[in-house]
């Protein structure tokens, strides 16, 4: 049998501290840079995900508010129709005659005054009922009565012109 001669390989024996530090520093810097880039990519991905979730939540809130606005607008329209129905002159006249027992005045019962407001006010003051001694009339009700008399004085000549 043939045996191959043994070759002895020798490695240079140098202290391990000198040739490797530069490579280790460069390798350590690369590791730190790689970890930093991974962390930065993770942070950017997390930020993008949070922003997307917040955008979706705002979209849901916007849709909910739009639906609420639509519902409130429909309710407002229904209420406006109800107000118009309740204020209609036909309904008011019907309620006045049926529930309140009012009757339409006969033409001879209607009187129109062509006097000025001051004359009507003077007449009203003369004909006004004086309160009893123990009762106190509040100025609010006095002013309401005066405003009503003024309104009636202005409205009557307009009604006479229409007739």
Range of the domain at 85: 29-127
Largest CA distance in the chain: 156
CA 108 to CA 20: how far, in whole Å?
126
Q: Is residue 58 part of a domain?
A: yes
Specify the higher pLDDT residue, 41 or 154.
41
Q: Is residue 71 part of a domain?
A: yes
CA distances from 144 to 74, 119, 120, 128, 129 (A): 37, 18, 15, 14, 15
Q: Is residue 73 part of a domain?
A: yes
Q: Is residue 107 part of a domain?
A: yes
Specify the pTM.
0.42
Contact 120, 147 (CB under 8 A): no
Please determine, for residue 121, whether its predicted confidence score (pLDDT) is greater than 70: no
Count of domains in the chain? 1
User: What confidence score (pLDDT) does residue 163 get?
Assistant: 46
């Amino acid at each position: 049998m043939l045996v191959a001669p043994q070759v002895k390989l020798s490695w240079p024996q140098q202290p391990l501290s000198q040739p490797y530090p530069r490579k280790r520093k460069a390798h350590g810097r690369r590791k730190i840079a790689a970890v930093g880039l991974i962390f930065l990519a993770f942070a950017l991905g997390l930020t993008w995900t949070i922003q997307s979730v917040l955008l979706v939540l705002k979209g849901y809130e916007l849709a909910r508010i739009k639906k609420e606005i639509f519902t409130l607008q429909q309710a407002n329209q229904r209420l406006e129709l109800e107000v118009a129905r309740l204020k209609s002159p036909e309904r008011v006249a019907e309620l006045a005659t049926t529930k309140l027992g009012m009757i339409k005045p006969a033409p001879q019962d209607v009187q129109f005054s062509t006097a000025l407001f001051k004359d009507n006010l003077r007449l009203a003051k003369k004909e006004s009922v004086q309160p009893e001694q123990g009762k106190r009339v509040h100025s609010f009700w006095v002013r309401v009565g005066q405003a009503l008399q003024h309104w009636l004085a202005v409205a009557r000549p307009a009604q006479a012109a229409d007739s």
